[in-house]
Amino acid sequence: MKTIQLTPAELELIQVKRQQEELAAQEAAVQNQLAIEKEIARVKLQVEGYIKQEAQQVKAAGEFALQIPSSKLHIDTRELAANASYKGEVVDTIKYQEQVAYLTIGEYKVAVKEHIVYGKFSYRGSSRGYKMYVSGQGIDYKTNNRGYKNTQKVVELIQDTIEEVKAKEAHANKQKNAVATAITELTQQFPDATIKQERGYTTNHYASHSNRYQEYDKLVVALNNGIVIEYRVYESGELSRLNITFPQHETMELISVLNNLEFSSVTVA
């Protein structure tokens, strides 16, 4: 086998190339390490931003709580982790504790959220401080999404809502009792009839769209002779007759039946 002899210049060239490759590998390793450290620093800075923002939220909630003596401050905490990744691999995990504060006033919850305002041509919003958002029994979707800065308005909203809930409950109880009383009276009046309770619907064209269709309690009395009478039951206990249906479907047949009825108190002129 013939051996190839390299000249000193060729050997020196090979040595230089090896050194260049080693330097390139070292440079790549350094650049990778710098990129990793940069990514870790970015995630740490992001976590610091979260913590700072949460601290501001807790502080704002505490300030609102001081202005509402009847409120109670709560701070929920949970452990979270943010991963720093480089080239699809997790290179570090930064653990931190999330804190979210809110108030309770009786059975009502008051969330505290940062109010962000966006410009017409901007995707980046600017902070306008913190607002309170109330949720609980009697608070509808629209009110729940309305933010308040004035603590007195929040207190008044909850007080007014409590009164409305009590009024609705009182109305429901009166209505329930009125229906029960009406069923008892109709049963006494028509002992052989079948009485069913149903829900009726009426349309109020002057009300808002969400309140346009209103429900009411309806009693359906089916007599043994086939006549069906429908009543609306009011909270006062008053009955309003809505409809009366006769078993005869032909108009002339019904007129004939009615013509044969005798009313002692009716005088034909």
Q: Which helix (H) or strand (E) holds 115?
A: strand 108-118
Q: Residues 84, 90, 96, 98: is their CA dihedral positive or negative?
A: positive
Angle at 143 (CA atoms; ends 139, 144), nearest 5 degrees: 75
- What are the backbone dihedrals phi and psi of residue 177, each rounded to the nearest 5 degrees, phi first? -65, -35
Which residues, in sequence order, are CB contacts of 151 under 8 Å at separation 6+? 64, 67, 68, 132
Q: Where are the domains of the chain?
A: 23-149, 177-249
Structure confidence at residue 269 (pLDDT): 44
User: Which residue do the tokens 């991963």 mark?
Assistant: 83
- Enumerate long-range contacts of 79-88, CB under 8 Å, 24 or more apart: 82/43, 82/46, 82/47, 83/43, 84/36, 84/39, 84/40, 84/42, 84/43, 84/44, 85/39, 86/32, 86/35, 86/36, 86/39
Tens digit of each residue's pLDDT (9 = 90 or more) over 139-178: 999 999 999 999 999 999 999 999 999 999 999 999 999 9
Tens digit of each residue's pLDDT (9 = 90 or more) over 180-194: 999 999 999 999 999
The token pair that represents 212 in the structure block: 């346009």
Tens digit of each residue's pLDDT (9 = 90 or more) over 61-75: 999 999 999 999 999
Tens digit of each residue's pLDDT (9 = 90 or more) over 249-261: 666 666 776 677 6
Tens digit of each residue's pLDDT (9 = 90 or more) over 10-50: 777 777 788 777 777 788 788 888 999 999 999 999 999 99
Under 8 Å between Cβ of 70 and 30: no
| Predicted structure pTM score | 0.72
Structure confidence at residue 132 (pLDDT): 97
